[in-house]
Amino acid sequence: MMKKLLLIAVCLFALSACNSKVDSAMQKYVNESLKEKKKGILKLSAYKEVDWDEVYILGPYTSKKQFDGTLQHYEKEILATGVDTDDSICLVMLFKNGKLVGQSIFDRKSIDFASLTHFTTGTKIEPYSKAKANFAFKQLGKYDPFILSNI
């Protein structure tokens, strides 16, 4: 019985290590950038906690059919977030040379990135370069979410 408990504990620890790319610093950066403002520019390009060169923004109900070559390599990680079945979240993923270096899940009731999902003509999700990762935001009412859009 004790061996089983130890094995379960080791497995849980190993699984939690798989999610090590969740970036709470990105959430803090975004929250601080929007704090006490009704509208403005979110300069995600200025985020420096990790070294990155592209950002993918996945809106609700993102299907794996929409994954480009880079995202296909991270299918399990993406689907584990629930972004494919949950309309209340958006997933922001940072990459450096095609390798995932950070990701954060944002609750759309607070901050809504959904309109920023960027598609190619073939309906594949496409990244924003770091230089173009600056987005307008506005909050209509005190209890409404911040809505982000392209500049």
Tens digits of residue pLDDT in 35-84: 889 999 999 999 999 999 999 999 999 999 999 999 999 999 999 999 99
pLDDT tier, 34 (very low <50, low <70, confident <90, very high otherwise):
very high
Mind listing the pLDDT tens digit for each residue in 116-126?
Answer: 988 766 688 99
Cβ atoms of 93 and 100 closer than 8 Å? yes
Which is more confidently placed, 121 or 127?
Answer: 127
Cβ atoms of 67 and 23 closer than 8 Å? no
> pLDDT at position 119, please?
76
| Prediction pTM value | 0.82
Cβ atoms of 132 and 78 closer than 8 Å? no
Distance CA 18, CA 16 (A): 5
Tokens of 105: 């899940």
Mean of the per-residue pLDDT values for the chain?
86
> pLDDT at position 16, please?
40
Distance CA 90, CA 82 (A): 9
